[in-house]
Chains A and B, each alone.
Chain A
């Protein structure tokens, strides 16, 4: 993916020269003080040169947020978050703050890169070495961008979209996840800094997998990311979020919002691989990943598919959902969540069947090891008008070790007698027989576990786009290191 040896070299040359002449421009912008108030929101909006309506929207969200309480129903224990003790606008990172070469990077991180089979140049990029990845992706992305523009596809950052396509943003932003939706989504609406914007025009099949990886200015979109994807009639797109490589970030709280809109006959496939810092073996540190993801199948025959591989973060708390409004629309959710050490995950999905003959399919695989706690929480709701709706849910949990927990909390509400709802869940431990068989064939215990778990997750891994799938398989093994023996 991405960085070719050549470009990285070129970039290195350029940056190297810069340093040679001590040519460091002071790009550091003033940082607003810690804390959250209307002034900070005005500051963010001003910095981003946003139009008035955007600021109004942010303030509306902020005022609503003040009336809300931090939710407490989740099955994760987190210390209370002090929202006044955080920066809400992070200036772009300076080169001098970054590691100057791979030698400065945490060897543990490099070891993982090695295992994932990431080429050296990409390693530099991922570790955020001063060879600015942005430079690199500029060159890569411009080639792609030209191709996309030919077809009328808009793929840019949210800030750009607010400037260049205000009508689309106005029409769709907050239409799936309203500003008042939930505590973290409301917070995001008030202070989001950037994110991706994708618009696929009528009848266009996006010729490539879109990925934040290639997007300009993707760096430092910060903790409050806002993504909006619109697929017009008859279009289709596959979007990749995240990266299999471990990512370090100084922000502890991540509260992103992702909105998808699929119109008649449109199809959106959204794949996530999340591997943020999960904290160390003792559960110290790690990222809180509280994301609101929701897709609306507005049009008839539309389809939205979520695929996620969640291995990182200290606490993951998210429910990518589908609102199946259009007749014959389809929602899918495929998930693998792996928690090890002291990680906690409370994740699942919601499928809201509103249209006739809507179909949804949920396949969730949870693997819990060490002292981790994991919950599948899902809702399937069939409204009285959703004649012929059909849902199938399967959630399986695998426990490795006797100090972890796995929980399943599905809610199934059916108000239509012509709908069919099926739910299945199992919890079991990793099979001794299978492990023994592998061991007897000379496969080490850790590899055997990785093999068995990969088999357990196969159904979901198959749903991932090709380039993700291979890496995700390796990731499954790595995430469980240290969980046996």
Chain B
């Protein structure tokens, strides 16, 4: 950790607070949270590989950058349409540019009753008490997460989604996060709150894209509560530019009989880090924490996950698969933690990686920490190249090598993409995989 890397953030924070330009400066709880965030971030600094949770992800490239706080942009982005994953006609859409909500680009008019979408900044004005009750309250174990604290200090906007009790939102809600930086490096720290009320059901699709040449740092923090009996499907595509740094810290609590289903596909970014922390805190809570990554060039993707089984009869399944080309690097560190007395826990974890080049690297740390005896927990992990026999079989049928290879990688990854329960979305994610493979350099 170098002091100089922290300096710009410090100065920016002081400037912003003195100018009173951070939203909610009149709210004591928020000011305290910001203050505490900045202090703690100062103490922790950017993590070095000596910090166990960052053992395989080196932030030197990020520390070298001086990021400017992203400001509200009113100018046109030069985009004729919003990039969308699910199609312009389908679903509901909230658009954020550099972390700021852009109402004019969003289409939320058709949102059914029972679903409330606001921007964080709007919510601060309209319902500050709601945020006071939830923000920083759902998160747990955040003390050692420097990026979480950095986010607390700088948070300005983000998504607030509230699904009311019993509401079933049929169409997916797509949130487009557009990173746009052309001239100077920009940093922004969106803060999201998602509450799925009792017995409700909704699908949230996060779509991260980027335009422009300059570096961006998107430091997301998401807090999620899935209330008893609710179902929340949460899918994410990270397709930012190769100049983007993406850090996403997520804290989710899953209550009794609730189901939290997540899938993350990472194809973009110079360095991306997904750090979901899911706590199963009600009996028969169920979580899926799946993901895939496709990295090439000098990209680096880190999925560090923690699933806590806090009470008896909880269930989780975690599958991460990926393929690496060029000097692509990936990290998977998944931890299952079973509390004492969390009997009849069922936890499975699988990590598989294909190394498609001789310079790619995968570092895996699947971890089990178990304090109850009546459990079934397992993890499996493999790393290696494509199997020779099927490849030979395909080629013996006259399929050229690049095609055969693509078919095999595609089917390898399809296995985890299949876990997405909504059919249209499954196809959309599969298309992204196919698209990445078609751009293969090899």
Tell me whether A and B are bound partners.
Answer: yes
CB-based contact A384/B373 at 8 Å:
no
Expressed in whole angstroms, the minimum distance between the Cβ of A284 and any Cβ of chain B is: 23
Interface residues of chain B, those whose CB is within 8 Å of chain A, are 52, 56, 340-341, 343, 353, 355-385
Number of A-B contacts defined by CB within 8 Å: 119
Question: A409–B369 Cα gap in the complex (Å)?
Answer: 8
Question: A397–B377 Cα gap in the complex (Å)?
Answer: 10
Q: Which of A380-436 contact B (CB under 8 A)?
A: 384, 397, 399-429
Interface residues of chain A, those whose CB is within 8 Å of chain B, are 73, 384, 397, 399-429
CB-based contact A410/B360 at 8 Å:
no
CB-based contact A421/B383 at 8 Å:
yes
Q: Which residues of B contact A417 (CB under 8 A)?
A: 355-358, 360, 384-385
The 10 sampled A-B contact pairs (Cβ below 8 Å) are A397-B370, A399-B373, A402-B343, A405-B370, A413-B362, A415-B360, A418-B385, A423-B364, A424-B379, A426-B378
Question: A415–B331 Cα gap in the complex (Å)?
Answer: 12
CB-based contact B383/A405 at 8 Å:
no
Question: A424–B372 Cα gap in the complex (Å)?
Answer: 20
- Among A402, A416, A426, the residue within 8 A (CB) of B377 is A426
Question: A410–B370 Cα gap in the complex (Å)?
Answer: 14
Expressed in whole angstroms, the minimum distance between the Cβ of B346 and any Cβ of chain A is: 11
Residue on B with the closest CB to A419?
B384
CB-based contact A429/B361 at 8 Å:
no
7 closest A-B pairs by CB: A417-B355, A399-B373, A420-B384, A412-B364, A408-B368, A429-B373, A414-B383
CB-based contact B371/A416 at 8 Å:
no
CB-based contact B52/A428 at 8 Å:
no
- Among A404, A411, A413, the residue within 8 A (CB) of B373 is A404
Question: A424–B379 Cα gap in the complex (Å)?
Answer: 6
CB-based contact A401/B373 at 8 Å:
yes
Expressed in whole angstroms, the minimum distance between the Cβ of A125 and any Cβ of chain B is: 39
Residue on A with the closest CB to B366?
A410
CB-based contact B382/A425 at 8 Å:
no
Expressed in whole angstroms, the minimum distance between the Cβ of B373 and any Cβ of chain A is: 4
Expressed in whole angstroms, the minimum distance between the Cβ of B442 and any Cβ of chain A is: 11
Expressed in whole angstroms, the minimum distance between the Cβ of A280 and any Cβ of chain B is: 23
CB-based contact A427/B358 at 8 Å:
no
Question: A429–B345 Cα gap in the complex (Å)?
Answer: 11
Q: Which residues of A contact B358 (CB under 8 A)?
A: 384, 416-418
Expressed in whole angstroms, the minimum distance between the Cβ of B55 and any Cβ of chain A is: 8
Q: Which residues of B contact A401 (CB under 8 A)?
A: 373
Question: A414–B380 Cα gap in the complex (Å)?
Answer: 15
Question: A433–B158 Cα gap in the complex (Å)?
Answer: 53
Question: A408–B363 Cα gap in the complex (Å)?
Answer: 16
Q: Which of B340, B370, B373, B382 has the most CB of A within 10 A?
A: B373
CB-based contact A402/B378 at 8 Å:
no
Q: Given contacts A407-B369, A417-B358, is CB(A412)–CB(B375) below 8 Å?
A: no
CB-based contact A413/B370 at 8 Å:
no
CB-based contact A424/B375 at 8 Å:
no
Q: Which residues of A contact B367 (CB under 8 A)?
A: 407-410
Q: Which residues of B contact A409 (CB under 8 A)?
A: 365, 367
CB-based contact A425/B364 at 8 Å:
no
Question: A409–B364 Cα gap in the complex (Å)?
Answer: 10
CB-based contact A427/B375 at 8 Å:
yes
Question: A294–B362 Cα gap in the complex (Å)?
Answer: 25
Q: Which residues of B contact A412 (CB under 8 A)?
A: 362-365, 381, 383
Q: Which residues of A contact B366 (CB under 8 A)?
A: 408, 410, 423, 425
Q: Given contacts A73-B52, A429-B374, is CB(A405)–CB(B382) below 8 Å?
A: no
CB-based contact B381/A427 at 8 Å:
no
Question: A429–B359 Cα gap in the complex (Å)?
Answer: 41
- Among A419, A422, A429, the residue within 8 A (CB) of B375 is A429
Q: Given contacts A402-B373, A410-B366, is CB(A425)–CB(B341) below 8 Å?
A: no
Expressed in whole angstroms, the minimum distance between the Cβ of B372 and any Cβ of chain A is: 6
CB-based contact A425/B368 at 8 Å:
yes
- Among A406, A422, A423, A428, the residue within 8 A (CB) of B376 is A428
Residue on A with the closest CB to B369?
A407
CB-based contact A399/B370 at 8 Å:
yes
